Structure 1
Amino acid sequence: MKSRTTAPLAVLALTAGLTAGLTACSAGEEPLSLAEADALDEQEVTLTVAIDEGLADEAVAAFETRAAEFTEEHPNITVEAQEYTWTGTTFAADLAGGTLPTVFTVPFTDGRGLIEREQIADISALTAELPYADQFNETVAQAGQAADGSQWAIPVAAYGQGIHYNRALFAEAGLDPDDPPATWDEVREAAAAISEKTGETGFGMMTSSNTGGWILTSLAYAMGGRGETNDGKQDIATIDTPEYHDALSYLHDLRWEDDSMGDEFLYDWGTSHADFGAGKIGMLISGGGDYGNLITQNAMNPDDYGVTVLPLEGDDAAALGGGTLAAVDAKASPAEQAAAVQWIDFYYLGKLTTQAGAVADAEAAAAQDQPVGAPVLPVFDKATYDQTQEWIADLINVPLEQFAPYSDGIYDQPLAPEPPSATQDLYATLDPVVQAVLTDEDADIDALLADAEQQVQTLIDRG
């Protein structure tokens, strides 16, 4: 994990020594209150905060502008940026090794486990007194809550899965970029046309670092399935089901009957987005809010970008929803916790809740030619989101019409949360299942799913 030296940001000297079983230093103590935090306002604090890995210089400059504005408001806090991107296969080691920033982000799926194991700081008393604490979408807020409803981690982004597509490859294949596929049969037809007429991958599929299970589960949800159900007493793995079978069979046919999935079957989030941004993939399923990463980290041509909702077919079909939580290191001192919540409030949520924050963030990004106003699924309600878009209307620099198939449809789609128990373990267990189907034409889908369900249930039962 690298650190970037930036002015006025300093290089972080990484610390080690946090063992895998370590719990929060404040375990058993009352969490810091806002009144107590106010008493720390003059205490000098150095705060390490996450910044995405591999950002273009312009995006780093936009971050620096915001960080400088924060330290001007809070002169007692020194902000140090550390490059960080959550990856399922490395996060546990980073957590155990003590190499994470003081403020870091994790997917919704990690919230419950981190809280139960007290591997993040209990900042609930601080978050409870934020002015918008009771305005979060209830489903979104639950991802960062303990069993008693206290908010240990703060939701900063939400998404519903969508299909990202390359408009240039669509046009080259004779497809209409303004009329993307609306059924899974149409997705398959478009993928085949792109592969045949452009020579590029028609449909790219993530398969590693827990992403294979994530996307397979997204497909199963869209076909009416769920990864887990609850019998009133416990969560039950529901992987060996017709919906998961249909999802794998669909991928099998794309791969072996249509030859529309290229020749890369070990994509993770980063490598798939790199190839999509480079125009090597026609369609890719991922979170609907990926535009910023594609532009700032993968240099995608904005003119080529398109996104649409997942086709929902079958009883109880839904788009899998998720998001990102901001959390604080379990070893953070009371003063660092207070500073961390101030940073989260300023950097992540100020742009979603206040006109000043929204405009300042948009101006910093626009000054560096970074994306402003890309449609996303709101953390709060749609009215709040629409208000922020009005505040920054003069600064929006993204092609909103190219998002219309997604932004016009996502609010009408039922969203279902990710499997609640052992979520990342479920995804990790399904990675090799997806890989097997894409690399072995005769893979036994029934046997693979039966074995995976048994493995996941064992993991759920272990807690």
Structure 2
Amino acid sequence: MNSFRLRRVAGLLLVGSLAVTACSSAADTASGGKVVLSVNGQPPQTQAFERKIFDEDVAEFEAANPDIDIQPHEGFMDPKTFSAKLAGGQLEDVFYAYFTDPAQLIARRQAADITDHVKDLPHYTEIRQELRDVFAKDGKVFGVPTANYSMGLLYNRKLFQQAGLNPDTPPKTWDEVKEAAKKITALGDNKVGFAEYSKNNQGGWHFTAWMYSVGGKIARQDGDKWVADFDNDKGRQVLQHLKDMRWRDGTMGEKQLLVIEDVQQMMGAGQLGMYLAAPDNVPTIVNQFKGDYADYGLTGIPDGKGTLIGGEGYMINPKATPEKIKAGLKWIGWKYLNPDRFDKNLKRYKDQGQPIGLPVPPVADIWTGDVKAKQTELKVANATVPVQNFKSYVDSTPAGLIEPPNAQQVYAILDNVVQAVLTDRDADPATLLADAEAKVNPVLAQVK
């Protein structure tokens, strides 16, 4: 559903095919007194460019740190096998975690407490606070964020111009989206003002983004348990807005039950005005669906009371010795959080024809202060895409909120809600939400 999730899914497929290798913290040093550090996140050989970059980084890091021996492993953390790998001493010393993982890992004491060590990690305090909070609890730190995305509004600048809209002042509210969608649809020739996903858990994922944008939630904590929190005025507001655009305004097209590839293809073909997306959608539209970077803009999520964020970071095996924790944080900081390598990384990607200037890796948009300023300056200097088209997204500052617990099960239920509103003119938002909450609460009750 986004680059982080797709990369993680690919990693999970690889994990199952890898030979089991002991990665426990039992063997701290190799001959010669080196700290032996197993790490995951190495791209598969099928991703030749990314694998080359990773392996080059391992060699460069080891040359600069001759007392550390990096043992890279393909794949990422698989929640289904994580506990067994940890218990069996087969979990890497440094392991990848998607933003939805840390809370439960921390609760189960399955990640090392690095509070006393992270203070020595350069630039840690310049990472955005809400991202650091994903890997922390009760004042203690258990991991470090390394990349993230947040949802915004992707729009077709060419269609905006054709419809008499100013592409440099995109919609800031859902009401403005509704009005812009009318003008784009009025162009005719099968133009669609706004599109939305509703299958394969993607409808529930985007319903969550809508709820956050208007200040709502999908789930909230009630004491020591989670409960659903969308059968309310904000939930009805979201569904009614979708229903109005679909049936009253006729700005969402006749074809429904869409998934991300359908919408990206519509955008690439110049038939779609707007949809909710993260920045990584833009290169996909260009590369897979023959779009042009100059034709697209990205702005902050409408209404802007909150936005869905996701991403990745790294945590450390709870059995790791202090020496391994220190070495692990040195690797994480050098590889993923090193402003001194921004320029080199950007040029490596640029030399390979990768787009530079979008708010996506190779230099992740996780920073504040001087590091962010340096990052922005270098991106502009190396840009291969029109940076100005995405400035309003970068400048937007909605509160970042992660996905609800047991997100995929929740999304599967919410898919039905979004599908009903988009396919049934007589669908009742209040009834749909009440029925969905009754199904979501047992799923949230499983959260430990």
**TM-score, normalized by the shorter chain, greater than 0.5:** yes
Q: Which one of the candidate residues 418, 423, 438 is aligned to 1:454?
A: 438
Following the alignment from structure 2 to structure 1, what is the Cα–Cα distance between the partners of residues 111 and 422? 38
Q: Which one of the candidate residues 335, 350, 355 is aligned to 1:347?
A: 335
**TM-score, with length taken from structure 2:** 0.76
| Counterpart position of 1:108 | 99
Shift of 1:163: 0.1
1:213 counterpart SS class:
helix
Shift of 1:128: 4.9
| Counterpart position of 1:14 | 18
Matched-pair contact (CA < 8 Å) for 2:214–2:306: no
Q: How many residues align?
A: 425
Shift of 1:242: 1.3
> Residue 372 and residue 105 in structure 1: after superposition, are their counterparts in 2 closer, same or farther (change >3 A)?
farther
Matched-pair contact (CA < 8 Å) for 1:59–1:368: no
Matched, 1:253 2:244: yes
> Residue 458 and residue 386 in structure 1: after superposition, are their counterparts in 2 closer, same or farther (change >3 A)?
same
Matched, 1:380 2:367: yes
Q: Which moved more, 1:195-204 or 1:246-255?
A: 195-204
Matched, 1:327 2:309: no
Shift of 1:290: 5.0
Opposite residue 346 of structure 1, the aligned amino acid is W
> Residue 396 and residue 38 in structure 1: after superposition, are their counterparts in 2 closer, same or farther (change >3 A)?
farther
| Counterpart position of 1:398 | 385
Shift of 1:221: 2.8
Following the alignment from structure 1 to structure 2, what is the Cα–Cα distance between the partners of residues 109 and 392? 29
| Counterpart position of 2:70 | 77
Residues 226-280 of structure 1, C-alpha deviations (whole Å, 9 max, x = no match): 3344566755422111111111122222223315245242415x66546545655
Q: Which one of the candidate residues 142, 155, 162 is aligned to 2:133?
A: 142
Shift of 1:111: 2.2
> Residue 139 and residue 45 in structure 1: after superposition, are their counterparts in 2 closer, same or farther (change >3 A)?
closer
| Counterpart position of 2:41 | 49
| Counterpart position of 2:170 | 180
| Pairing 1:178-257 to 2, within 5 Å after superposition | 178-195=168-185, 197-229=188-220, 235-257=226-248
Following the alignment from structure 1 to structure 2, what is the Cα–Cα distance between the partners of residues 2 and 417? 25
5+ residue gaps, structure 2, are 1-8
Following the alignment from structure 1 to structure 2, what is the Cα–Cα distance between the partners of residues 14 and 331? 22
Following the alignment from structure 1 to structure 2, what is the Cα–Cα distance between the partners of residues 279 and 173? 13
Q: Which one of the candidate residues 437, 456, 460 is aligned to 2:421?
A: 437
2:307 counterpart SS class:
strand
| Counterpart position of 1:358 | 342
Opposite residue 14 of structure 1, the aligned amino acid is L
Following the alignment from structure 1 to structure 2, what is the Cα–Cα distance between the partners of residues 126 and 40? 25
Following the alignment from structure 1 to structure 2, what is the Cα–Cα distance between the partners of residues 180 and 279? 17
Residues 168-214 of structure 1, C-alpha deviations (whole Å, 9 max, x = no match): 34345554322322332331233344445352543222334443223
Matched-pair contact (CA < 8 Å) for 1:240–1:446: yes
Matched-pair contact (CA < 8 Å) for 1:226–1:419: no
| Counterpart position of 2:160 | 170
Matched-pair contact (CA < 8 Å) for 2:146–2:314: no
> Residue 295 and residue 456 in structure 1: after superposition, are their counterparts in 2 closer, same or farther (change >3 A)?
same
Residues 352-391 of structure 1, C-alpha deviations (whole Å, 9 max, x = no match): xx2x211121121121122234346942324430122235
Following the alignment from structure 2 to structure 1, what is the Cα–Cα distance between the partners of residues 16 and 408? 29
| Identity, % of aligned positions | 29
Following the alignment from structure 2 to structure 1, what is the Cα–Cα distance between the partners of residues 82 and 262? 23
Matched-pair contact (CA < 8 Å) for 1:160–1:319: no
**TM-score, with length taken from structure 1:** 0.73
Following the alignment from structure 1 to structure 2, what is the Cα–Cα distance between the partners of residues 39 and 126? 26
> Residue 460 and residue 41 in structure 1: after superposition, are their counterparts in 2 closer, same or farther (change >3 A)?
farther
| Pairing 1:32-43 to 2, within 5 Å after superposition | 42-43=34-35
Opposite residue 144 of structure 1, the aligned amino acid is F
1:185 counterpart SS class:
helix
> Residue 368 and residue 239 in structure 1: after superposition, are their counterparts in 2 closer, same or farther (change >3 A)?
same
Shift of 1:151: 2.7
